[in-house]
Structure 1
């Protein structure tokens, strides 16, 4: 069985402290909506969305979800491990995904998202990095629990800009 995992880096933010409360800029809100349009244009229909507790990640997904077709945005699961910014913790989240989920979307931060995209084999990330509002899609086979990075096939990469 083929499954899909999509990594979405939050859109452009302003400065501020504490870090977890940093909000999107007006450009960030526009780019986040462009993320949703890019997902819809590529027929991405998430079954599960796991988002960092950081305000910028929450706002990014909220804006993106409004651009998806009606009923295509499931309830959000918030997970502190995404904010911890560690690739191995992201892999834990993927491996804990229930097997009735076909498409998993993670919304979070660099450097862990760019690092994980590299581990999953994304040639675009090697070339261009993983900027704000970047999305990378990977196909995997087998169960989520048995997922290993070498088993991913990159199929989609976009930097969504309004």
Structure 2
């Protein structure tokens, strides 16, 4: 019998040095390791970085998603890690993304400007559903490009 699927949504504060090269290197390391772990653990999802915060959606078997979240909480590059949602799901929103990274294109930057105006892109002011919808819509745009 297949394991039940869950979606976990969280945000955290960036604790990576603000040096651009160091930041880019750390993000690349996070993505490479996440993609390896997530493929192994049958987890899909997307990661957003903007304005000093990370927001992420993880989808997969409950035990694997919880283990990934525990690793994130222990990672010194993340601070003030806050769980926004952990819910059962019937299907994945990111079936093709072992870990997509959103937040670097000009189109995405413009989209975040509107979010920033209303929320200051303070993920603590967004619900898990709002972050999930934002990342899902951006992933669809990214795949269409």
With the shorter chain as reference, the TM-score category is 0.3 to 0.5
More strand by share: 2
> TM-score normalized by structure 1?
0.30
Q: Which structure's residues are more often helix, by fraction?
A: 2
